[in-house]
Structure 1
């Protein structure tokens, strides 16, 4: 509520009550030579409060609030926390950290994105945008501001990363070579269940039901701390039915591991299904460099990331087995079926060839077909 009045000296005075973030109210006083001038100042103060510009105590900077939010948030996965800390420390706080939270505008963010885009990948800029947006949404919930400036800035355009799943023949060749590996069961699970790398390395025997052929995905292994943490999302916590191939591979792996445990001079009984020679968790770097990549070379498959085994599982089910996307989404633990469709709505070269052959079968008699389609492979 605002009031205006004229003082004995002829000048005009106006007062407005401002509610601060802590709930306390503060009286703001303005002066002017005319009543109209005072009313304009009052209107500006009222508009600022409605926009959230003076909703807090005016002393909290973006960096102070962001760092405190990250420190107090106990629901962030360790890997996500490290990424947030890195983005804030290296890219965000040096640029907009000193700005008062109440004075941060869309122009500041647009300038930040433009500057960082000169040397950072678009996806990193997108991560920066999403983090700032998340932080400002928390500020709104805490009544520090009313509007989120990140909503007024266009998020960076990012192309979906190209994925390189194995063809059916490549997958078969890879598993054939993997038979000689002590981690054969791990690679079978990767290809037949689509489990994430951290889920595989964090799998424990207590979560494996060999009798009923089931696996419960409850944890993921942090690649930096080698500690078990929560899975990526609520949907990632799931139960998977094992194929006969995977079940037999796990039974054989358990028998072999039991022999190694008895023969080992030192064994840490941490219950890992896939463990190092002393029973501890396997490091991601060792899995990839000592086991996965050498198998690709032996199978004469171009080097690609371990995550492409997960993509391979999905594409084989969707393209070659015509499995419904909802089933694949549940198997992979995606947050929604939309994620699955967006990732794999493309057609692999193999499937393009099969589509062309299907069209021939509908419109051209086989005997009169002038040529046969050559099988295409993913490079």
Structure 2
């Protein structure tokens, strides 16, 4: 009788695989853990092959020097691992920077000592409620770290002197902190470190959308008049007439423009990052990469701007090729986003207009188009939103004037005919109508 063939023994370091009493397969092995230590982990699967594949994947990552965070470790260790080894590969650098700030300033100090496996929805909800009521100036010592003003000699006040300023986090910031935690825990679920994302069971409420201050029609005309003669007049006009984002305007290259056809192709954005400095990046989303139509006024301004740019290049006597950007400094280098903001604020002061953000020019474009009865789908394509629901949520507001027109229209329809002193409707006069709102 032939003896059954024994399975080939696994090499030292490859871990062990066996079937549990409940029918599942379990694989166990040693991997690199945070702090340059080694820890034994266990993974599970419905078959031997599945469990072995999961263990092999974790051991391979460990051999590449990537520490494996287990559910028995702290939330702080897991969040640090997630930032350095996971999020860095799929988040834009600017988004990764914001996530890092949220984790270091709020999540680790507040929940970092909790075990990842023992974190509950109640823990998160209790912490968020406390965070909602705590003065951040007191908690983080913001006022105490302020340096005295060299000109006025003023020293830190309020919380540093025992006079609380009650600087609390806004609902929008709280919702953002919650979303960062949900994203991190979602990856832990995918890696089967925890069975479910407990942060999803916590309701923070829907924060009110941020109020923005779009320019009225008269203010928009005043702004365009004040921009005439400014070195960046074409940029300001393009911003107001097309709603392009600041980074999209600064990242625009001459090769992206077809002035004869009156079109512009938006392919990139210019931003300052922590590691790369002033960097050209892809657009915010896939939908943000688009081609838009330019008005005749914008085409004329851009042609004049190109001539001005050529004169500046000749005046500097530089033989170096320019950066190719449409809007540059006099020396041909790209413009810093912060520098553009300073030019914009100075222009508002010169025009005696109320202070608004540069991004409010984008809101102004959408609002003015809505007032002219332009369809939301057209505004969506112009602004480069991923979904029309975004456009509808942010911009489907109606100004007081349009509300009054709508109410007057309804009042005219419901008015008692016997109270009307006007002559009877003989069908010759056109009906009263208001500007359409979509």
TM over 0.5: same fold? yes
Asked which structure has the greater RCO (Cα within 8 Å, sep 6+), the reply is: 1
DSSP 3-state at the match of 1:74: helix
User: SS at the partner of 1:146?
Assistant: coil
User: Does the C-alpha gap of structure 1 residues 24 and 367 become closer, same or farther in structure 2, counting only changes over 3 Å?
Assistant: closer
Alignment partner of 1:269 out of 322, 326, 333: 322
Partner residue of 1:324? 375
**Matched residue SS, 1:347:** coil
Residue 15 of structure 2 corresponds to none
Q: Does 1:98 align with 2:102?
A: no
Q: 1:294-353: CA deviations, max 9, x gaps?
A: 222333321111111101100111112x11101101110112101111112221133234
- Equivalent residues of 2:309, 2:330 under 8 A apart: no
Please say if 1:337 is aligned against 2:393: no
Most deviating of 185-194 and 117-126: 117-126
Q: How does 1:224-373 map to 2 (within 5 A)?
A: 224=273, 225-265=277-317, 269-289=322-342, 291-320=343-372, 322-356=373-407, 358=409
Residue 3 and residue 230 in structure 1: after superposition, are their counterparts in 2 closer, same or farther (change >3 A)? closer
Q: If the length of structure 1 is used for normalisation, what is the TM-score? A: 0.78
2:26/2:42 contact within 8 Å kept: no
Residue in 1 that maps onto 2:258: 209
Superposed displacement of residue 153, structure 1:
0.6
The within-5 A match list for 1:191-210 is 191-210=240-259
| The one of 65, 87, 103 aligned to 2:78 | 65
Contact 1:196–1:307 (Cα < 8 Å) also in 2: yes
Deviation (angstroms), 1:285: 2.3
The CA distance in 2 between the partners of 1:112 and 1:190, in whole Å, is: 42
Superposed CA RMSD in Å reads 2.8
SS in 2 for 1:60: coil
Query: Structure 2: which 5+ residue stretches go unaligned?
Result: 1-18, 30-40, 45-68, 134-167, 424-438
Distance in 1 (alpha carbons) for counterparts of 2:211 and 2:421:
35
| 1:69 Cα deviation after fit | 2.2
Alpha-carbon offset, residue 19 of structure 1:
6.3
Counterpart Cα distance in 2 of 1:154 and 1:181: 49
1:187 to 1:363, Cα distance in 2 relative to 1, 3 A: farther
Q: 1:161 to 1:366 in 2, by over 3 A?
A: farther
Larger CA deviation: 222-231 vs 177-186: 222-231
Size of the alignment, in residue pairs? 327
Helix, strand or coil at the partner of 1:227: strand
The answer for unaligned runs of 5 or more in structure 1 is 5-15, 26-55, 369-379
Contact 1:235 1:335 in 2 (8 A): yes
173, 193, 204: which one aligns with 1:144: 193
Work out the CA distance in 2 between the residues paired with 1:303 and 1:214: 31
Q: What is the distance in 2 between the residues matched to 1:347 and 1:24?
A: 55
Residue number in structure 1 paired with 2:90? 75
| Match 1:113 to one of 113, 128, 142 | 128
**Shift of residue 66, structure 1, vs aligned partner:** 2.1
User: Hey, what's the Cα distance between the residues in 1 that align with 2:43 and 2:213?
Assistant: 58
Q: Hey, what's the Cα distance between the residues in 2 that align with 1:353 and 1:281?
A: 46
TM-score (norm 2): 0.68
Aligned to 1:128: 177
Alpha-carbon distance between aligned partners in 1 of 2:338 and 2:379, rounded to the nearest angstrom: 28
Q: Decide which of 211, 217, 228 is 1:179's aligned counterpart.
A: 228
